Structure 1
Amino acid sequence: MAHKIVTGNYAAAYGAMRSRVRTVAAYPITPQTFIVEHLSEFINNGELDSEYIEVESEHSAMSACVSASATGVRTFTATSSQGLALMHEILPIASGLRLPIVMSVVNRAIAAPINIWVEHNDIMPERDSGWLQVFCDHNQEVQDMILQAFRIAEDKRVALPVAVCLDAFILSHTVEPVDLMCQEDADRFLPKYSPPSPILDPNNPTAVGVFVPPEYMMECRWQMDNAMRQAPKVIEEVNKAFAKEFGRDYGGMIDPYMCDDADVVLITLGTVGSTTHEVVDVMRAEGKKVGMVKLRFWRPYPAAQLRKIAEKVKAVGVFDRAVSYGVAGPSFIEFRNAAYGLDVPTMNVIGGLGGNDVSLADIRSIFDKLLEIAKTGVVKREIVWLNTRGVE
């Protein structure tokens, strides 16, 4: 194992290399381009034995990944923003065929207006595509989750693709110290992929993506839904196995902090979790009972775990780096469903869109609002737009 200073993009590529991916198909788009460039270098240098497929679009990239994975080889790609949107048609094909593809999504704002900085509005529309989605908070987690993602996706109880999400530039282009695992350690945690039976086998020809009449469609959808419901157990098992092997425990579905005796908690997604963690420590030192929950997996959604935490507190805030226009933040909408019937005041904070800075002072102001809500029981504004000109 080597301890080096690397970007999130390098960590993602390195994790894919150590996963011994056999096929990489991708099309460059800022800010993920360096991921596939690094993989190309690994292949060119002889560090990775893999087929690199150059395609003309993200739609073709995912199509190639589907075809490669269908032959029974470990497959990887990466994209962002408009590239992910262009892939949309093929994403449910990957999940519907139960292919364990892993994709790094460097979350970036969707145009228009054109913006290359972090926002989660690119991945949120894919919540119902049948892909598992996990959000990383730092570069070490990026590398580690690539390997975990393959182990989760390839588990027969799941057999669904996984998107490993990292915030644009905050992680993708920022260097942090990362323990880069050696191949021997990676192989011990993630054995060689052995598919139950390759779909595309020249010696046993089959039809893929066949027409399915109505009398069988319900069963197809139920099987995918059941697999997604089985996934949390597998995620927890894989997290524990990884912690035992490498000493890094990410918590599984969620990563709660200082929630046991908290009066208020803030639920976060992505890198704003690190900022919130710092603020919690400061405010705890001042005697204020605040806590946080890092929402790691967006799909499957950890409704039962979040509801259990919400039952014990006086107010809950949800931070969204995305917006469902005219409704609320997507994460807040999901939490309200999870907390249905609970008598706990909730507040949604929409902020950091298009890379807008979210400071320690911003998070502290959110906690101050939540503490006031806990004290009075009154939510003055259910949806707060953070640092937005012309909006109170």
Structure 2
Amino acid sequence: MLEITEGSHAVAEAVRLCRPQVVSAYPITPQTHIVEALADFVANGKLDAEYINVENEFSALSACVGASAAGSRTYSATTSQGLALMFEVCFNAAGMRLPIVMSIANRALGAPLSIWNDMQDSISLRDAGWLQFYAEDNQEATDLHYIAYRVSEDQKVLLPSFVCFDGFILSHTYEPVDMLTQEDVDKYLPPFNPPERLDASDPVSFGMYATPEYYLEFRYEHDKALKDAREVIAKAGKEFAALFGRDYSAMVEGYKLDDAETVIVAMGSICGTVKDAIDEMRTEGKKVGLLRIRVFRPFPSEDVAKFIKGATQAKRIAVLDKNISLGAKGATALEVKDALYGSTVPVWNYILGLGGRDVRKKDIKEIVALADKGQGDQFFGLRKEVL
């Protein structure tokens, strides 16, 4: 059923339909509307779940770890400094192979303090072992929660997931969203049935001490599970498409790449702006295309290489990053360069939009012009007084 709704409320409704048994989260801008809505659902009897009030984000995810280990489907949400406070627990949740799903309303990290959007928060935890999905619009932000639970709880994966969507730009924007019914979601998402759980009558331990003789093997199995998730994502996406008509089986998507001479690589809501800019540039005779990354972890290296190889006219690649690995480049650019190792097509990186700085169509056009001139690997849009 099509509804005009705020992104955060659509996400909260999707989470409700996934029937989590335990929700624990601490409100923080711009994530607050999600957990407020879920608290209302629980209080009004629309969601049969335990909502655990906690004193901070570290406790929120810790509560989810305990609940998930005990066999409950669990959910949380956070952003920015809240996610940073969860740092230790994020590694524990992934290492214990607990399929928690957590919404990230992406927001810049301090200092200086900012409540506005970029992707520094979730990107900073790219090595924690969670799956990371990035939505372009609110329809995708909503649907990716169904996908995330389906993939995370698969016996081949059993890993937690971030579902990331841009704070304010999507979280507080009203868009038409095709919402599923409870019957629809129940057809797609089976009840959580973990292979192991905490049970006093059959004791097991999670997250125990590992000596050097065993730690390496744990990390190998964790890495393998993330890589195995690629196949599970494709299967889950195809089954979602068969039921509801929206296909999320691909970890990357191309837009007007066939004859593109300049390929832009990006992820998140900026991709909508990029597509509009590309349409305008096409009318001006400029052959530009977009490679959009939907899943950042596991990183779709083979898919990126395949799409770029298929763009046979590509002369340059411009990677847009709303994050910065300080002292190096944007995280997406580093991954793309690795995926295209040996390629003769130059890859230029543009750091932009940090701390909520607007990115407009004219900015995308200017970046394409810079890439055409071979002027890349730079912060784009810096105020003149710092240059």
Please state which band the TM-score falls in when normalised by the shorter chain: over 0.9
TM-score (norm 1): 0.95
**Map of 1:1-392 to 2, 5 A cutoff?**
2-198=1-197, 200-250=198-248, 252-311=250-309, 312=312, 313-370=314-371, 372-373=372-373, 379-390=374-385
Contact 2:350 2:376 in 1 (8 A): no
Unaligned runs of 5+ in 1: 374-378
Compute the RMSD of aligned alpha carbons. 1.3
Cα separation, 2, equivalents of 1:76 and 1:285: 45
Deviation at 1:384, TM superposition (A): 4.0
Cα separation, 1, equivalents of 2:386 and 2:283: 32
Contact 2:234 2:248 in 1 (8 A): no
Cα separation, 2, equivalents of 1:31 and 1:150: 23
Contact 1:385 1:391 in 2 (8 A): no
Residue 89 of structure 1 aligns to a residue whose secondary structure is: helix
Aligned-residue identity in percent: 45
TM-score (norm 2): 0.96
Deviations 1:322-349 (A, max 9, x none): 1112211111111111111111112111
Change (3 A) 1:305 1:388: farther
Deviations 1:143-178 (A, max 9, x none): 100110000001111111000001110011111111
Which sits farther off after the overlay, 93-102 or 380-389? Answer: 380-389
Cα separation, 1, equivalents of 2:51 and 2:251: 32
The answer for the alignment partner of 1:376 in structure 2 is: none
Cα separation, 1, equivalents of 2:319 and 2:172: 26
Deviations 1:258-313 (A, max 9, x none): 11221111001110000011112222233322110111111111111112233332
Residue 122 of structure 1 aligns to a residue whose secondary structure is: helix
Contact 1:15 1:146 in 2 (8 A): yes
Change (3 A) 1:348 1:83: same
Cα separation, 1, equivalents of 2:56 and 2:248: 34
AA matched with 1:176:
E
Cα separation, 2, equivalents of 1:144 and 1:3: 13
Cα separation, 2, equivalents of 1:362 and 1:355: 14
Cα separation, 1, equivalents of 2:150 and 2:384: 45
AA matched with 1:292:
L
AA matched with 2:302:
A
Cα separation, 2, equivalents of 1:303 and 1:207: 35
Deviation at 1:391, TM superposition (A): 5.8
Deviations 1:207-237 (A, max 9, x none): 2222112211121111101011111111111
User: How many residues get paired?
Assistant: 384
Cα separation, 2, equivalents of 1:382 and 1:141: 30
Shift >4 Å, 4+ stretches: none
Cα separation, 1, equivalents of 2:351 and 2:216: 37
Cα separation, 2, equivalents of 1:261 and 1:347: 19
Cα separation, 1, equivalents of 2:276 and 2:243: 28
Residue 348 of structure 2 aligns to a residue whose secondary structure is: strand
Change (3 A) 1:351 1:251: farther
Contact 1:239 1:249 in 2 (8 A): yes
Unaligned runs of 5+ in 2: none
Cα separation, 2, equivalents of 1:234 and 1:386: 39
AA matched with 2:95:
G
